[in-house]
Structure 1
Amino acid sequence: MRTRIAIAGGGLGGLTLARILHQHGIETVVYDREASRSARPQGGALDLHPESGQLALAQAGLAGRFRSEARPDGEEHRILDPTGRMLVHHEPEPGSFSGRPEIDRSALRDLLLDSLPGDTVVWGHRLVAATPRPDGGWDLTFHGGHRVSCDTLIGADGARSVVRSLLTDVQLFYVATLVELTIDDVERRHPDLAELVGPGNMWCVGVNQILAAQRLGDGSLRVGISLRAEGRPLDTYRSKRALLNVFAGWDPRLTALIEAAESAPTPRLIETMPIGTRWTGRPGVTLIGDAAHLMPPVGEGANQAMLDAAELASQLAANTADPNSAIRAYEESMFSRIHPIAEMSARVQAMMLSPTAAEDIARFFTRPAEPVHAD
Structure 2
Amino acid sequence: METAVPEKNLDNMVRKPENVPADCVVDFNLHQPIPDGKSAHEFWRELISQASRPVMWTPHNGGHWIVIEPGLCETVLTDSEHFSSRVVIVPREPIGETYSNFIPLSLDPPEHAPYRKILNDNLGPKQINRLKDEVSGLAVELIEGFRAKGRCNFVHDFAEQLPVRIFMRLVNLPEEDLPKLKYLADQFTRPDGTIEFHEVEKQFRDYIGPILRERRGGSGDDMLTRMANAEANGRPLTDLEAENLSIQALVGGLDTVVNLLAYVFSHLAVNDELRRTLASDPARLEESMNEFLRRFPVVSDSREVRKDVEFGGVTMKARDMVMASTIAIAMNETSNADALDFRFDRKTRRHSVFGRGNHTCPGMYLARLELKMVLTEWLARIPEFRLAKGTSLTFTSGIVATVDPFELEWDV
TM-score under structure 2 normalisation?
A: 0.24
Higher relative contact order (CA 8 A, sep 6+): 2
Per residue, is there more strand in 1 or in 2?
1
Per residue, is there more helix in 1 or in 2?
2
TM-score under structure 1 normalisation?
A: 0.26
